[in-house]
Homo-oligomer: A and B are copies of this chain.
Amino acid sequence: MDFNAYITRVNTKLEKYLPVQGYLTKAMRYSTLTNGKRFRPILTYSVANIFSTHLDLVDSSSCAIEFIHAYSLIHDDLPAMDDDDIRHNQPTCHKLFGEAQAILVGDGLQTLAFKVLVNDNLIGSDTKIELIKSLTHASFEMAEGQAIDLSIIAKQVNITTLETMHRKKTGALLNCAVNLGAIVSKNCNNKDQTILNIFSKDIGLAYQIQDDVLDIETPDELLGKKQYSDEYKNKPTYPSLLGLDKSRLVYKDLYEKAIDEIALLSVDAVELQQLTIKLQERLF
């Protein structure tokens, strides 16, 4: 499967939803139309695709997820939060547009996520309601996760607290990316939904543990942001608690478990398995 086709697709759609007009658009476009990995939209498209759902029906979901993700990065990067200067190899939003604008751009992008979903004329009302329910749940969890993240800086925490934080901060939105694809897919049955739910929770946690590891392993240029930033910020991470080798094992096990799980779906899951392998092999 050529996942780049999904990246091209979502980039085109994101641009459509962010026309060059209005007072916040310039900064919104700057921070959203980047060379981001688009992993969340790819997940949504892949889930829809394995259930033979027309991709037109998940364009709004893919974009909504990415808008929420983009807003969270802009706010996380603010001086009051993680104080990061570089993101996707370019100055962060507040470095270029100032803090006030960056706060508003994040606020606007969150609204836009729900706006795009609720105005999608290709989807019926009941389905839209389910999509928005899922997205509000995930978006709220994400904010809570970030609150935990900031509250445990320089603190001794156990692995359970760290896992809760990761599941909320990163996992909830990945879970939602999969759920949105499943909700729109008419032939995704209840059992499939349960399987996908477990699958996405596993890859969500794996993804964040892997991020912790990559923060140590990957140089700035490839990472697109500062290496060793967790250590520098005195953030507890899986490697700081379990060591690098054990952390690698944990996330690899989770990815492998996830690959096994989706073999149980009622449809051919090869595409989603390939995506999971690609994730597992990512270097940044």
B101 touching A147, Cβ below 8 Å:
yes
Tell me the minimal C-beta distance from A111 to chain B in angstroms. Answer: 4
A111 touching B133, Cβ below 8 Å:
no
Tell me the minimal C-beta distance from A92 to chain B in angstroms. Answer: 14
Known: A114-B136, A129-B125. A144 touches B23 (CB 8 A): yes
CA distance A119 to B137 in the complex (A): 10
Number of interface residues of A (CB under 8 A): 41
B147 touching A23, Cβ below 8 Å:
yes
Instruction: Check: A75 CB closer than 8 A to any chain B CB.
Output: yes
B119 touching A133, Cβ below 8 Å:
yes
B residues in contact with A210, CB < 8 Å: none
CA distance A139 to B111 in the complex (A): 7
Which one of A54-62, A102-110, A200-208, A233-241 is at the interface?
A102-110
Q: Which of B75, B80, B128 contacts A98 (CB 8 A)?
A: B80
B118 touching A24, Cβ below 8 Å:
no
Instruction: Check: A151 CB closer than 8 A to any chain B CB.
Output: yes
Q: Which of B104, B118, B119, B148 contacts A147 (CB 8 A)?
A: B104
A24 touching B143, Cβ below 8 Å:
yes
Instruction: Check: A78 CB closer than 8 A to any chain B CB.
Output: yes
Instruction: Check: A99 CB closer than 8 A to any chain B CB.
Output: yes
B136 touching A104, Cβ below 8 Å:
no
CA distance A128 to B110 in the complex (A): 19
Tell me the minimal C-beta distance from A164 to chain B in angstroms. Answer: 9
Instruction: Check: A126 CB closer than 8 A to any chain B CB.
Output: yes
B residues in contact with A108, CB < 8 Å: 140, 143-144
Instruction: Check: A100 CB closer than 8 A to any chain B CB.
Output: yes
Closest to A109 in B: B143
Known: A100-B150, A143-B104. A118 touches B111 (CB 8 A): no
Tell me the minimal C-beta distance from A275 to chain B in angstroms. Answer: 27
A107 touching B106, Cβ below 8 Å:
yes
B103 touching A81, Cβ below 8 Å:
yes
Known: A125-B125, A126-B125, A129-B129. A81 touches B100 (CB 8 A): yes
B residues in contact with A139, CB < 8 Å: 111
Tell me the minimal C-beta distance from A81 to chain B in angstroms. Answer: 5
A112 touching B129, Cβ below 8 Å:
no
Tell me the minimal C-beta distance from A147 to chain B in angstroms. Answer: 4
Instruction: Check: A197 CB closer than 8 A to any chain B CB.
Output: no
Chain A residues numbered 55-88 whose CB sits less than 8 Å from any CB in chain B? 71, 75, 78, 80-81
B111 touching A140, Cβ below 8 Å:
yes
Q: Which of B98, B111, B115 contacts A110 (CB 8 A)?
A: B111
CA distance A147 to B139 in the complex (A): 23
